[in-house]
Chain A
Amino acid sequence: MVEPAAVSMAERRSPAAAFAARFEAASAGGGLRLAEIPFLSQINLRVDPKSPAAERIGTAMGVPLPMEPGTAAGGGDLEVLWLGPDEWLVVGPDGAAPGLVERLAEAAAGEHVSVVDVSAQRTALVVAGERARDVLAHGCVLDLHPRVFGPGRVAQTTLARAGVVLVAGEDGFRLLVRSSFAAYVAEWLLDASVEYVTSPAGEADPA
């Protein structure tokens, strides 16, 4: 099946599009930045990490599959996230999915590999800025200390009551959220941010 983005003239709408203005308002204080990155290309890849196909796929992408649990590997405009011992999420820019699917399938060369375009399955939300960790700590049980979960770390976990793929970057975090949960997570983030965006200095200690 041909990737819709390649041919369609119809208008796309991203899962958190309705939150753009509220995200912007919440980001005005400077301590926190909330935003959606819509329409990223996302390919779910399942392959035996020890198979020749896994290596060929890495070569084809120009990014070797990260084998250490909970890590990401990047190269060019691609980022490969470890999701499980034989599962990765390849994330690329808008429009890259059809080409990626083709490249990965080619690299698989008949071996047992699953390549599934899941670009619209999840959307990406940015939680960045000084208070990003504080906001996430309200709902994320992982230790987000920079020494523990710094740039290059990835985790599938839960934020409040929704499953997320949490990716740590140089400037804060990206949450890959199932599209149907995007509105819930957006509402939750905005609610969790109240203390951090209304106090001008970002100082929430009331005492």
Chain B
Amino acid sequence: MSERSERTGGAAVQPYRREGATGKTLRFRFDGREYAGLEGDTLASALLANGVRAVASSIKLGRPRGVYAAGSEEPNALVQIEEPFPEPMLTATTVELYDGLVATGLPGQGRLADRPDPARYDAVHAHCDVLVVGAGPAGIAAAGVAARAGARVILADERPEPGGSLLGTAETLDGAPGREWAAGEAAALAALPEVRVLRRTTVLGHYDDNYVIAVERRTNHLGAQAPADVARERVWRIRARRVVLATGGHERFVAFAGNDLPGVMLAGAARTYANHYRVLPGSRAVVFTTNDSAYAAALDLARAGVEIAAIADVRHAPGETWVARCAERGIEVLTGHVVTAVKGEGEVSSVEVAPRPEAQGSGGQAREIPADLLLVSGGWTPVVHLFSQAGGTLRYDEELGAFTPGETRQAVEAAGFARGVRTLRECLEDGAEAGRRALAGAGLTAPPEIDVPAAEEEPAAAPAEHVWLVESGDYGTHFVDLQRDVTVAEVLRATGAGLSSVEHVKRYTTAGTAHDQGKTSGLLTGGVVAHALGVDVAELGTTTFRAPYTPVSFAALAGRDRGPLHDPVRVTALHEWHVARGALFENVGQWKRPWYYPQQGEGPGEDMEAAVLRECRAAREDVAAMDASTLGKIDVVGPDAAVLLDRLYTNMMSTLKVGSIRYGVMCRPDGMVFDDGTVIRLADDRFLVTTTTGNAAAVLDWMEEWLQTEWPDLRVHCTSVTEQWATVALVGPRSREVLARLAPGLAVDNDSFPFMTWRDAEVAGIEARVCRISFSGELAYEINVSSWYGLALWEAVMASGEVTPYGTETMHVLRAEKGFPIVGQDTDGTVTPQDLGMEWIVSKKKADFVGKRSFARADTSRPDRKHLVGLLPEDPGVLLPEGAHLVDTSALPEPPVPTLGFVTSSYRSAALGRTFALALVSGGRERIGERLYAPVGADLVPVTVTSHVLYDPEGARRDG
């Protein structure tokens, strides 16, 4: 205790802080109490410095739990950040301390904020020759070799500073503290132009073709001081030619009674607290180990001022050098001993050790040793998560008592302890070799010599003994998974119920599924299951290692694809005008299309119904205009262009004359309607095809697919020109008059410019292609100009003030009155052209076209297929909901009631002076005149089936 500081001064007292620790004092609050810590602390080290043992409580049993580890593998110390912004469930061992941190310990569940997260998140793509994961000795050595040969290198490490195991062990390299070597090397590497050293960056997942995902925590450690414009967390999407996994190892614990009591801690973690954080995790410790590594921890702690009461080693023959060193310091070593109980109220007060029951002639007696700390080492497990994720196989290493990397087909290898290499010197050499191989693999040459710093000589290792549990009559507090409160008793219950797979046991007990994903406990669970079943751990295998390696925030993965950037907003050249005019918009695919334009003026604005009736009236009785620029447009050029279109459309396109336009429908091979639009013939070998707004890309892809994969002999090229053109639909009996005024050079009379033809003309001083087509049944024109001039054209059309702008809703009403279907609204992928009443558009002359064969199948020729028909509610004021179904009974029987069909479109019609609907109705064309019923809420609304063409069936209006 000699080194323990006894500084006074309220919250600044850190009774377990080692003397000589320096750094800025930081204030924080935990579970409602004020504390002080030092810069460089984690929340865990700061709590330990303040003597806080119980940090959280366990999920099922509510038992107190303390800090168990010193890194991201922490199974116990789960905390909730409260300020500066609520963040659920982090490990206290990875929360860097900052001024003003407020946190609480968790009883198993975290808590989400109830307000929006103000932080920014982003992602970045990166490419490198060699990615090195882990900036411990092996990783730094690997990165050093690769980087100095000129390779593009990324070195990523989850901690704030490089060094890995060197941070905890206080080993020296070239005579200096390893930590200084690591810092110097990392800085030197970062200064190279092709090297990126990423700190606080956890590699989460290893995917196909060396696609590696990492997340960098950039401002978390700054607390409230984090700059608002800097992304708080950044996802790195790394494509690496070679990957070196220098991910080190995790220490395991052992299942014994009371192994969860605060004060029980992994030996290596305690060593890290003492050496790196300059915190003493307790005053008097018992050490329980299965291997040599805990001796180094015990000696370091002893040097730091922790009294080591005894080392209980399960082995009868620990490493001799270690035993000798312990003897020098007066530390008692109890060989062949185990911990049989841990006692204390809420934290460790004493530890009961006893000779192993199965050990022959050990001679010792069970005894209780007063202590506030119990350091455990059940051996070390290489971190093989990423290797396994990359598709690598694992093999059991008997000596290590753990799984190590085996084969993989990806360009990845493990280095250092991650592949079971033990000593510091070997790890450095192994890392350098891995770096050299990675260079070769990436096609680069390694430097001739590899400089590896000199490590201290390590004592010859004595073999570890793989003890998973301390046998006992009652396994009720032998925890295997601390976070899930899973004990050996529960594992035995699972195996006793008949389960023999480690996956089943995991699911039965939930072991390994908690926040830590079993990093310190997975192998232990396997060991206990193997013990229970009497099989080998090797034979039992492991459960699958799944990404992410450590939990990652949703927001980090969402990045900047949020709000307006969640998906592109596509707009036309006229968009600014629509916005200024107060249009409401409809999302159509990614496009924003004006839905309707409520009349602005005094008093409350016009509602949709009034606006649409007004817009419809203008189109039918006067003149109106719509932005039709979103329709897909494809230039189809080549000697075989007509042949291609004949094969893709159901009707004949090759007979279309230059200067004329034809409506067409495309089907998929299964005969179902895929898209529709107009085809205009610009020249013998040139067509312009229009598609629906939503299908523009799909239709172009469709054409390319057929051309490239089925009919490469056809000489046709297709080019998208959707955005080359802005299109204004000018509609209504007065449209001719308006066009004539805008295009004085264009002969607009019916004979000169008949229906379904196009003309080049200058409109409002802009070169334009004017098409006489109509989606409303009225006299109408579509004026196409370069989209640069779209706004100018539209403003010219609107300049006189007599043209009413209309949106998609009015367009829908107008076309529905005429019975024109909208693909995707009146069709659902199960509708043929014949179903739509378009027998006329399905060529009988053509030998074949895509979809034709399917019309001859049993189902597509059924008479009771659903046909597109019109519906008139008997009460002309009743508007059927779109999606309402139809039955032929006036009283509903008990379900299930087979449906006859459903309403696809339903509107109030200004022209008809009533409501109407379109519907797909089984055998609908044979039902014209019949009364059907639409169940709407509790009512059955009577409707009469009619033709789907309700307005101007003789087509008298299209010529004005």
Contact = CB atoms under 8 A, between A and B. Distances in A.
B125 A10 contact: no
Contact of A188 (B127, B237, B565): B565
Nearest to A196: B229
Interface string B927-959: 000000000000000000000000000000000
Given A117-B724, A138-B123, A183-B571, A1 B719 contact: no
A148 B128 CA distance: 11
Given A46-B719, A121-B721, A194-B229, A10 B152 contact: no
Interface in A176-199: 178-181, 183-185, 187-188, 191-192, 194-195, 198
B186 interface: no
Interface in A84-143: 86, 112, 114, 116-122, 134, 137-143
Given A4-B786, A117-B724, A10 B765 contact: yes
B226 to A, nearest CB: 7
Interface of B: 120, 122-127, 152, 199-200, 218-219, 222, 226-227, 229-231, 237, 239, 560-561, 564-565, 567-573, 575-576, 591, 630, 635, 637-639, 715, 717, 719-725, 760, 762, 764-767, 769, 785-793, 796
Contact of B568 (A161, A191, A195): A161
Given A2-B767, A207-B218, A180 B124 contact: no
Contact of A116 (B122, B721, B785): B721
B723 A120 contact: yes
Interface string A28-61: 0000000000010000101000000000000000
Given A4-B767, A121-B720, A195-B231, A10 B570 contact: no
Contact of B787 (A116, A179, A187): A179
A3 interface: yes
Q: Which of A4, A5, A15, A18 has the most CB of B within 10 A?
A: A4
B567 A161 contact: yes
25 contacts: A2-B760, A4-B785, A8-B765, A12-B789, A13-B791, A39-B788, A46-B637, A46-B719, A112-B715, A117-B724, A118-B721, A118-B724, A119-B786, A121-B721, A121-B722, A138-B124, A160-B561, A160-B568, A183-B575, A184-B569, A184-B570, A191-B560, A195-B229, A195-B230, A206-B230
A14 B721 contact: no
A141 B237 CA distance: 9
Given A114-B638, A195-B229, A206-B222, A184 B568 contact: yes
Given A12-B788, A161-B567, A206-B227, A141 B723 contact: no
Given A10-B764, A12-B788, A145 B230 contact: no
Contact of A7 (B200, B571, B767, B791): B767
A10 B723 contact: no
Contacts of B231: 195
B113 to A, nearest CB: 22
A29 to B, nearest CB: 12
A114 B788 contact: no
A9 interface: yes
Given A13-B791, A162-B568, 19 more contacts: A4-B786, A4-B789, A8-B767, A15-B573, A15-B787, A46-B717, A116-B635, A116-B721, A118-B721, A120-B725, A120-B788, A121-B720, A137-B124, A138-B122, A139-B125, A160-B561, A160-B568, A180-B722, A181-B570
Contacts of B762: 7
A143 B717 contact: no
- For the complex of A and B, 9 pairs with smallest distance between CB atoms: A114-B717, A46-B717, A10-B792, A143-B127, A184-B568, A180-B570, A114-B637, A179-B723, A12-B788
Interface residues of A, number: 59
A201 to B, nearest CB: 14
B788 A14 contact: yes
A198 to B, nearest CB: 5
A120 B727 CA distance: 13
Contacts of A2: 760, 767
Contacts of A198: 229
B120 A116 contact: no
Interface of A: 1-15, 18, 39, 44, 46, 86, 112, 114, 116-122, 134, 137-143, 145, 148, 160-162, 178-181, 183-185, 187-188, 191-192, 194-195, 198, 204, 206-207
Given A13-B792, A184-B569, A192-B122, A161 B717 contact: no
A124 B630 CA distance: 21
B506 to A, nearest CB: 36
Contacts of A206: 218-219, 222, 226-227, 230
A145 B127 contact: yes
A204 B229 CA distance: 10
Contacts of B200: 207
Nearest to A184: B568
A112 B561 CA distance: 43
Nearest to B790: A13
Given A145-B127, A188-B565, A206-B227, A4 B788 contact: yes
B786 A160 contact: no
B229 A137 contact: no
A187 B565 contact: yes
Contacts of B790: 13
A37 B231 CA distance: 30
Nearest to B796: A10
A140 B237 CA distance: 11
Given A2-B767, A39-B788, A180 B591 contact: yes
A112 B126 CA distance: 42
Contacts of A138: 122-125, 560
A187 B566 CA distance: 12
Contact of A11 (B239, B630, B792): B792
Contacts of A207: 199-200, 218
Q: Which of A18, A114, A194 has the most CB of B within 10 A?
A: A114
B711 to A, nearest CB: 14
A3 B767 contact: yes
Nearest to A198: B229
B237 A1 contact: no
Contact of A183 (B237, B569, B723, B724): B569
A142 B769 CA distance: 39
Contact of B637 (A1, A116, A185): A116
Nearest to B726: A120
Nearest to B566: A161
A46 to B, nearest CB: 4
A204 B230 contact: yes
Nearest to A38: B788
Contacts of B724: 117-121
Contacts of A5: 786, 788
B572 A180 contact: yes
Q: Which of A14, A178, A184 has the most CB of B within 10 A?
A: A184
Contacts of B717: 46, 86, 112, 114
B454 to A, nearest CB: 31
Contact of B120 (A112, A142, A184, A194): A194
A39 B239 CA distance: 37
A134 to B, nearest CB: 8
Contacts of A120: 723-725, 786-788
Contacts of A12: 788-789, 792
B745 to A, nearest CB: 12
A45 B237 CA distance: 35
Contacts of A192: 122, 560
Nearest to A194: B229
Nearest to A178: B723
Contacts of B786: 3-5, 119-120
Given A117-B724, A137-B124, A191 B565 contact: yes
B638 to A, nearest CB: 5
